[in-house]
Amino acid sequence: MPSQLSYPGVYVEEIPSGVRTIGGVATSIGAFIGWAPKGSTERPDLVLSFADYERKFGGLSPKSLLSYAVYHFFLNGGQQAYALRVVAGDAKSGSVTIGDLTFTASSAGLWSSDYSVRVAPVGADRFRLEVLRAKVDGTPLKTAVPVEVFESLSVNPTDARFAAAVLGEQSSFVTVAVNGTTNPSDTTESLDGGEDGAILEPNTPAFQIAVGANLKRFERVDLFNLMAVPGEASAGVLQEVAAFCAAHRALLIADTIEKSFEAADSAKPEAGVTGDNAKNGAMYFPWVRSPDPLQQNRLREFPPSGFVAGIMARTDATRGVWKAPAGIDASITGAISLTEILTDKENGFLNIRGLNCLRVFPVYGTVVWGARTLQGNDEIGSEWKYVPVRRTALYIEESLFRGLKWVVFEPNDEPLWAQIRLNVGAFMNDLFRQGAFQGRTPRDAYFVKCDKDTTTQNDINRGIVNIVVGFAPLKPAEFVVLKLQQMAGQIQV
């Protein structure tokens, strides 16, 4: 009813319908951790293409499995990822002091020695700054190339164009400390003193310590779905990363260190992640032989995690998160061969233990030929045996978690419960119509309960509303059994 009825006439009032559409979240945002020669070490950086990665992290590096994993992710269909660079404690940032200004490279590493800064006074109290690319991998260019230009900077802290504030917010290459109020002279100086420090390689104690110390930086990322530490196979690190993924409704894509069937059979790498967190991980074997652009496309062995993450993204886009990212459609772009060509029996022996295999088949080439989580061992009998089932559940959980924020602090009674059933039911019905669940009818495929049976008076007194959502997942046809018999002497009556 309108707030006040004062004059005779017609009053118009809009009544809320109670419909609050729940949108599905993204399902294939990658998250990669590793050593790189360039880039921020303070936070994961968003990259939307490999060109974006090149700009922020320096592109491919022969010492960086991270760079190749991101490259393979985008090559196989990935669209969005976060990359976190870890470095050793002895890595240093290049710097140079010009008058009262000390310029420092935005991140540690030898990369900064390829760059220079040029300053030129503009009037009595302002100056112009150019950041120049003067070398490529230590080789001087004939002409330095400007990569950033900042006009009318000031050394005055109260000025709107104060140099430290402007560069801190806008420069991708340098920061500046202003140690006085004297305007700099006209000069060009190189950023010297940058060092990579010790190269952090997977499966070494220094790298494992760095991953554990920096994993929490992904807390700042709003949403990621697929996490990989390319090449890392130690049980301790994978267990820690799997626990982090479980807390953030993401999936760990793990690599084996073993590259042959005999090594994988004896080491049992799939046993490295155990317990409840194993349902949020999947391990792939063997490594992939792919052309290395830095070595005239000669073949090099790479961990499969980057390839698989890209295939998951591609499958999500074309078929949906409920489709297993495996099969003849899950062809690995860029793969020429594998470190081990498995037979059917070898594949079967590893598969029942929950280790997903990559295979090479005539016509189809190199494909992903497994879709089990690290709880996929047949002896465990887990309900989260399959990757698509687990990822579908994570997708529903994250979507409802975000889509039901409006419920908080609403009056906890039947009108609210009815709205919840309406909105969650609409979301689940949309998934049913897309083919995400088993069943011929919505009643067979899912249910949504939120009423006096799920939320008791005691729950209401404690400020709790309970919503129960169930779904019948699609499970992959992992084994196709063809039965054939002869018809001999049958007489039709």
256 and 317 co-located in one domain: yes
Task: Check residue 4 and give its pLDDT.
Answer: 83
User: Does some domain include residue 162?
Assistant: yes
What does the alpha-carbon distance between residue 375 and residue 352 come to, in Å, rounded to a whole number? 10
Tell me if 396 is assigned to some domain. no
Mean pLDDT by 10 residues, the chain (493 residues): 81 84 94 95 95 94 96 97 95 94 94 94 89 89 92 92 94 93 92 93 95 94 96 94 96 94 88 90 96 95 97 96 96 96 94 95 95 93 94 96 95 94 95 95 95 95 96 90 80 62
Is 459 among the domain residues? yes
Task: Give the Cα separation of 309 and 323 in Å (integer).
Answer: 14
Three-state SS for 461? Answer: helix
Containing structural domain, residue 113: 95-190
Dist CA 441 CA 170 (whole Å)? 54
CB-CB contact of 425 with 410 (8 Å): no
Residues 168/169/171/173 CA torsion (nearest 10 deg): 50
- Whole-angstrom distance, CA of residue 323 vs CA of residue 388: 6
CA 127 distance to own-chain centroid: 41
Tell which of 323, 355, 388 closes a domain: 388
Specify the DSSP element, H or E, that contains 135.
strand 126-136
Boundary residue ending a domain (388, 420, 437): 388
Same-domain status, 256 and 374: yes
Residue 199 has a pLDDT of 94
Given CA atoms 388, 390, 393, 398 in this order, what sign does their dihedral have?
negative
219-237 pLDDT tens trace: 999 999 999 999 999 999 9
Alpha-carbon gap, residue 87 to 207, rounded angstroms: 8
Q: How far is 247 from 243, CA to CA, in rounded Å?
A: 6
CATH (domain of 326): 3.40.50.11780
Output the pLDDT for position 5. 87
Could you tell me if 428 and 449 are in contact, meaning their C-beta atoms sit under 8 angstroms apart?
no
Whether 439 is in a domain gets the answer yes
Helix (H) / strand (E) containing 75: helix 65-75
**Do 137 and 68 fall within a single domain?**
no
Encoded amino acid at 185, one letter? S
